[in-house]
């Protein structure tokens, strides 16, 4: 006997019929399971973890060349980039931040980052197509998928550099409170714009900017909140893993950090997918009847 989903429980169905926001929330959570979004978020986090160190090596090496005459600004931007990874970044930045502009480091880091980054964006494309329920035959070819991944790396990477610079400016002495607020708002806007472009360009289902805006805005705000709460979350993960994994607990913390970002990004996509049918409809009733029927309860 298969256990019926909690989403079809009579009390839950009653709430869904009365409240459009509640039905939207339940739909998004149900889709999160049906689209295997949790698994896809884990894969994105895995390849994101593999790419972060070579990307930071490239970032540091490029700054070493471009800002060679401005060491203070260079150090401020590098610190800001590492500080975007709470708790873990403080522990790990001591060694990479000592790197100077080095052509060998730049090439090696770029190659590894390119490989891992492309894998991460390939998985992200698959995840967004799963959320949008794009048929397998309508999904991009190998060559087109890789080209879209390169576009995603360039766009998201550039946006992250912009956000890191904005974050470093927030911490500059002498910046007024209102300017700090405006810079923080600018970082939220950049994050939301990146998510909107990601939802629109990396998914094969055609979507307008208006359709992707709700999930992008929610994700941008969530990312901003994660910058403030991330230290506590990642610190707790490291503390819990420390007695068992020792020094490897830092890796657990970093993967946790990436998993949270991947989950937020994909939950935003799920929100966009669920919004058009946020009110309880006849289709919901048919699905509930099918899930609770005797045929659905047998294996």
Tokens at residue 94, please?
Answer: 């001591």
pLDDT, mean of each 10-residue run, the chain (299 residues): 66 81 82 89 88 69 70 67 57 49 67 83 93 90 87 77 66 65 81 92 91 93 81 73 67 83 92 76 52 47
End-to-end CA distance of the chain, in Å?
Answer: 6
Q: Which residues contact 186 (CB under 8 A, 6 or more apart)?
A: 166
What CA–CA distance (Å, rounded) separates 64 from 105?
11
pLDDT of residue 278: 57
Q: Which residues contact 180 (CB under 8 A, 6 or more apart)?
A: 170
Tokens at residue 242, please?
Answer: 């420390």
Tokens 């991947």 appear where? 262
pLDDT of residue 164: 64
CA 13 and chain centroid, separation: 31
Q: Could you state, in order of their start, the residue ranges of all structural domains in the chain?
A: 32-279
HSE-up (13 A, CA, CB side) for residue 7: 22
CA 159 and chain centroid, separation: 13
What CA–CA distance (Å, rounded) separates 221 from 191?
8
Q: What is the DSSP letter of 141?
A: P
pLDDT of residue 49: 82
pLDDT of residue 162: 72
The pTM assigned to this predicted structure is 0.75
What CA–CA distance (Å, rounded) separates 175 from 173?
6
pLDDT of residue 195: 93
């Amino acid at each position: 006997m298969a256990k019926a989903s909690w989403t079809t429980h009579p009390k839950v169905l009653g709430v869904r019929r009365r409240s459009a926001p509640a039905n939207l929330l339940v739909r998004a959570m149900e889709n999160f399971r049906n689209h295997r979004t949790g698994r896809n978020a884990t894969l994105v986090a895995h390849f994101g973890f593999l790419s972060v160190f070579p990307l930071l090596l490239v970032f540091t090496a490029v700054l070493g060349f471009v800002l060679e005459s401005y060491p203070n600004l260079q150090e401020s931007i590098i610190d800001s980039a590492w500080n975007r990874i709470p708790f873990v970044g403080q522990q790990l930045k001591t060694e990479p931040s000592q790197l100077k502009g080095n052509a060998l480091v730049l090439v090696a880091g770029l190659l590894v980052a390119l490989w891992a980054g492309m894998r991460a964006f390939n998985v992200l494309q698959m995840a967004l197509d799963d959320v949008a329920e794009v048929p397998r035959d309508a999904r991009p070819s190998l060559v087109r998928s890789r080209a879209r991944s390169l576009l995603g790396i360039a766009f998201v990477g550039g946006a992250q550099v912009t956000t890191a610079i904005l974050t470093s400016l927030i911490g500059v002495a002498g910046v007024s409170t209102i300017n700090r607020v405006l810079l923080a708002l600018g970082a939220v806007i950049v994050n939301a714009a990146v998510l909107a472009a990601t939802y629109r360009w990396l998914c094969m289902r055609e979507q307008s900017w208006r359709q992707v805006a709700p999930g992008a805005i929610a994700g941008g705000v969530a990312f901003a909140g994660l910058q403030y709460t991330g230290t506590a979350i990642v610190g707790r993960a490291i503390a819990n893993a420390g007695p068992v994994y020792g020094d490897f607990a830092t890796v657990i913390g970093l993967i946790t950090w990436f998993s949270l970002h991947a989950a937020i990004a994909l939950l935003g996509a799920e929100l966009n997918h669920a919004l058009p049918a946020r009110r309880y409809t006849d289709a919901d009733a048919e699905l509930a009847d099918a899930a609770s029927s005797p045929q659905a309860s047998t294996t």
